[in-house]
Structure 1
């Protein structure tokens, strides 16, 4: 009912490297992506350790010149700056699936993840995954991240709404049956709603950002 009547056709091959703990979660978004895209375009690979010896197929993909790792950072290229998919160009898009802490740990602990070109999406979308706490308002779920990225690479803005429709339906159902909306960690901190003790580096980061805003 909420999945597209016809799977979305794309040129991009999507590879989800899924942390084992993510599979245990009841409310996952990677399956929505898997069933929303045409067959053989979304591959979910489970694991948290990948190496050239232990994961030769993954390593082969990561070495290809058209492979992109979606992971934000100062050295990541804005996805919108890359040439879009065309007759002679298509991409392999690699996404790390797990909590943000798990994804960061996977990136830092797997040297082969430094092989592909690193990209990020600069966007103004707020996550629709309102039944799960995100670190920041700008952070998106796996299906949302892939949907935004594909809409850019494929030059098809409609992909975003089509692929995230099941997520909206899931959250609506959960909210109607007792779930409560979750604000991001950043929102809670800024509005005095965060009850856990903050780490020193988080406090320093907030102070630095506040000082920067005051200087502007």
Structure 2
């Protein structure tokens, strides 16, 4: 009886340990199953190999074919957040130009170590004499004033929201040392499915197309490079998207229902001052022409 009691006691004492081990194994299996689950749901739609968009919304048929050949080169300094957007225009530019004519570097400050595209380093581009920065600073000159016979240019664009672009400029001292240029135009963006802060603000693609049309003295860049964007907007509008007006337009027409932040208010004041200065210059020119005609 004593031996029997000992055996029963041993069996009863082992059962809780066995149950704990089983629970531990089950928990491990659950965690392994969770680890195997993809972070994002699988996208079962077939994608285009060029633009990486679902084939039903691919815009590659509107890309210039063959790609446009330019003498100058576009260099895009892109904020990391821009890459996460599902609707972007920089890929349209890369496919619309010949290979090597549109380089993209990502970061929040430039240059960084090991930023190389092919056999070209970003630092060598930023320190080259023929490099220009498209940025509306007080020292910038109209792009139209450049002499195209000066040679080939590297034109640097900052890609991101306006605050992100200003952040890149503020944290990248080398950008301040470059020759800076600006576009002088009154064109409205065709990127109508995205809200622009001000009238006349353009997407990265549209900005590059306008700049190349000026540098190359060829309107094909202005007309053909933006066609993929027009195709994208047309499809989105046909499938439920709505056309957006700029924040400036909405404010002027009492349709902006959100508080006007400091940055937007500053942009509005700057635009008003710029418009007043332009009107003043036009009046001075008209007065001079009138005096000449009277004399």
Q: TM-score with structure 1 length normalisation?
A: 0.90
SS of residue in 2 equivalent to 1:124: coil
- Give 1:152's aligned residue: 214
Q: Which runs of structure 2 are paired with 1:160-199 in the superposition (5 Å)?
A: 160-199=222-261
SS of residue in 2 equivalent to 1:69: strand
Q: How far is the alpha carbon of 1:203 from its aligned partner?
A: 7.5
SS of residue in 2 equivalent to 1:129: coil
Query: Aligned pair count?
Result: 212
- Give 2:83's aligned residue: 23
List structure 1 runs of 4+ shifted beyond 4 angstroms: 52-56, 203-208
Residues 204, 133 of structure 1: alpha-carbon distance in 2 compared, 3 angstrom cutoff: closer
2:188–2:200 CA contact under 8 A, matched in 1: yes
Q: How far is the alpha carbon of 1:73 from its aligned partner?
A: 2.2
Q: TM-score with structure 2 length normalisation?
A: 0.67
> Which region of structure 1 is more displaced relative to structure 2, 34-43 or 48-57?
48-57
Q: How far is the alpha carbon of 1:51 from its aligned partner?
A: 3.8
1:42 aligned onto 2:106: no
Q: How far is the alpha carbon of 1:55 from its aligned partner?
A: 5.1
Residues 112, 147 of structure 1: alpha-carbon distance in 2 compared, 3 angstrom cutoff: same
Residues 168, 208 of structure 1: alpha-carbon distance in 2 compared, 3 angstrom cutoff: closer
> Which region of structure 1 is more displaced relative to structure 2, 190-199 or 144-153?
190-199
Q: How far is the alpha carbon of 1:66 from its aligned partner?
A: 0.5
Q: How far is the alpha carbon of 1:116 from its aligned partner?
A: 1.5
Q: Which runs of structure 2 are paired with 1:31-180 in the superposition (5 Å)?
A: 31-51=91-111, 57-84=121-148, 86=149, 89-180=151-242
Q: Could you say what the CA RMSD is over the residues aligned between the two structures, in angstroms?
A: 2.4
- Give 2:38's aligned residue: none
Name the structure, 1 or 2, with higher relative contact order (CA <8 Å, separation 6+).
Answer: 1
CA distance in 1, matches of 2:267, 2:193: 29
Residues 154, 207 of structure 1: alpha-carbon distance in 2 compared, 3 angstrom cutoff: closer
Bigger-Rg structure (1/2): 2
Q: Describe the superposition over 1:105-126 as per-residue Cα deviations: whole angstroms up to 9, x where unpaired.
A: 1111111111221110001211
Which runs of 5 or more residues in structure 1 are unaligned? none
SS of residue in 1 equivalent to 2:226: helix
Q: Describe the superposition over 1:91-143 as per-residue Cα deviations: whole angstroms up to 9, x where unpaired.
A: 00100111111111111111111122111000121100000000111000000
